Structure 1
Amino acid sequence: MTEQEYELFAIRYATRDARRSEHFIGGDPHDGPMPMDYFMWLARGGGRTFVIDTGFNAEVASRRKRTFLRCPVETLGAFGIDAAAVEDVILTHLHYDHVGNFDRFPNARFHLQERELAYATGRFMRYPGLSHSFEVEDVCGIVRLNYARRVLFYDGDAELAPGLSIHAAGGHSAGLQFVRVRTRRGFVVLASDVSHFYENMASERPFTTALHIGEMLEGFDKLLKLAPDESHVIPGHDPLVMKLYPAPSPELERIVVRLDVPPSRPAPLRADYRSGTS
């Protein structure tokens, strides 16, 4: 029996100016501009819709000095999707840019690694270097959803539906997970923050927000193990995603791209860095 195939989309809702030294542990000897994009993802097929992460809102964007482009939840309307009708939301982790707007999905169940909620409410949150990535009200909101029996917890990898699975990969956050989705071009791996940029994974240099560097490096390997090849891995914050993949319609140009079709050209590869060509 053939597994279900899904349409898969990335919705770009915010951006910020940044520099290379902000994105690699230890900085970068060739420091220069390296902007960061923020995404929410959508997978739908077989009569089911999965929203993957929920972004943040304009208030948080202003406070954290991010450029807010649009509400990602409202963008779902371009697909004919009412947030109130969404039944499944996958939260890759509880950092502010992945769980904000959770309250815009009043009838959804939320899929989360149990370690992530324990981490976000545990002893390490007394350290600003780790807690700054969380919004307290988001974390409290997920606790309330748990009391309302709307959070499904996992301890490691799990198949949520035929052709769609979650995979634990700590390091950046204790309960970080990524999503593997079967599409018409084969399995696509949504890395989320397992690899913020193509270059983090390709050069084996982790992002600066880190709980466990060794687990971050192992996360790169796990992404590649579960993808047909590197072109099937989609990083969580790389503006290059918007350049490599096409919009589903002219109206959604520069807002949404399809990830269930091949990229227009190769992204940075591990082999490029090992051979010194990048």
Structure 2
Amino acid sequence: MESPGENYRIYAVKYAHFERRSRDNFIGGDAHDVPMPLDYFVWAVVGAQRTFIVDTGFDQAMADKRGRTITNPVEHGLAKIGIRADEVEDVVITHMHYDHAGNHGLFPRARYHVQDREMAYCTGRCMCHHALSHPFEPEDVKSMVGRLFAGRVKFHDGSAELAPGLTVHWVGGHTNGLQIVRVQTARGWVVLASDASHFYANMQEERPFPVVYNVGDMIEGYETAHRLASSPDHVIPGHDPAVLARYPAHDAETEGWIVRLDLAPRVVGQ
């Protein structure tokens, strides 16, 4: 049973961007074939006593390798909201893809929360197949193994409470061990869906993103995310630029790249 928890603040921090077309964002393509870019985020869940970072992003070297554009380095975005990366003690990795598990040296004090299935997946036989392995980076996996032997990894199997008012839940789909994060806020339960749904459209239209391990689990994950959230407007997709338009900015200086997800959306249901 979940413990009564505090109301957390949640920040979505954009750190990178990639131009893309809609045909590349749905299994089977898209007849409209219009521009549909990806934004890349990390999330900060800030409570009175503890701060959790959800995912760690990638750095400039990885952006160059993968053809992405860094818009604001992760550490700069966190500093704008008063978080020093070298003081963070808890990091949740939703899954081990390169854009969620990089920046190896950024959180030297942190304990990393990972699903059992994700670590088994990214070190197992599925990585023999390029169709499944290409979103992973070997150095990210090696770094997590190093943290494991340093006593800095906490494994979870399914659902777990990390703190009162903050839980993780396995959904799989995009990867075998993908987990989503449920957070208690003043406006209700917010679910950070990460890549359980890249865009609002993937889950709203039940049109899965084409980078996927198990399509059935991905579609079921949409239902799980909505069941755990207070409303559909409390489910936050992993890469949709619309998140920055829907939610209020942290301040005037960070308009367009850091928003508050614990506050009511300024644009609802669009």
TM-score normalized with structure 2 length: 0.97
Partner of 1:171: 173
Provide structure 2 residue ranges, at least 5 long, that are not aligned to the other structure: none
SS at the partner of 1:215? helix
Q: 1:191 aligns with which of 184, 190, 193?
A: 193
- Match for 2:158: what amino acid? G
* 1:150 corresponds to: 152
- Alpha-carbon offset, residue 248 of structure 1: 1.3
Structure 1 segment 197-276 matched on structure 2, within 5 A: 197-268=199-270
Distance 1:73 1:232 in 2: 26
The runs of 5 or more residues in structure 1 that have no matched partner are 269-278
Q: Which runs of 4+ in 1 moved over 4 A?
A: none
Equivalenced residues, count: 268
User: Percent identical across equivalent pairs?
Assistant: 51
| Aligned-residue RMSD, C-alpha | 1.1
Instruction: Return the alpha-carbon distance in structure 1 between the equivalents of residues 12 and 143 of structure 2.
Output: 25
Q: In the alignment, is the contact (CA less than 8 A) between 2:44 and 2:54 conserved in 1?
A: yes
Task: Please give the per-residue CA displacement for 1:236-261, whole angstroms capped at 9, x wherever unaligned.
Answer: 00000000111111111122000011
User: Alpha-carbon deviations, 1:200-224, whole Å to 9, x = none?
Assistant: 0000011000111000000000011
Residues of 1 paired with 2:111 and 2:223: CA distance?
30
Given candidates 51, 72, 75, the residue that maps to 2:74 is 72
Corresponding position of 2:134? 132
Give the Å deviation of 1:172.
0.5
TM-superposed deviation, 1:2: 5.0
Determine helix, strand or coil for the equivalent of 1:102. coil
* Contact 2:22 2:34 survives alignment (8 Å): yes
Task: State the partner residue of 1:46.
Answer: 48
SS of 1:160's partner is strand
Q: Contact 2:4/2:164 (CA < 8 Å) preserved in 1? A: no
Task: Please state whether the residue corresponding to 1:103 is helix, strand or coil.
Answer: coil
Structure 1-normalised TM-score? 0.94
Amino acid paired to 1:99: A
Give the direction of change, closer, same or farther, for the CA distance of 1:204–1:83 in structure 2 (3 Å limit).
Answer: same
Structure 2 counterparts to residues 39-118 of structure 1, below 5 A: 39-118=41-120
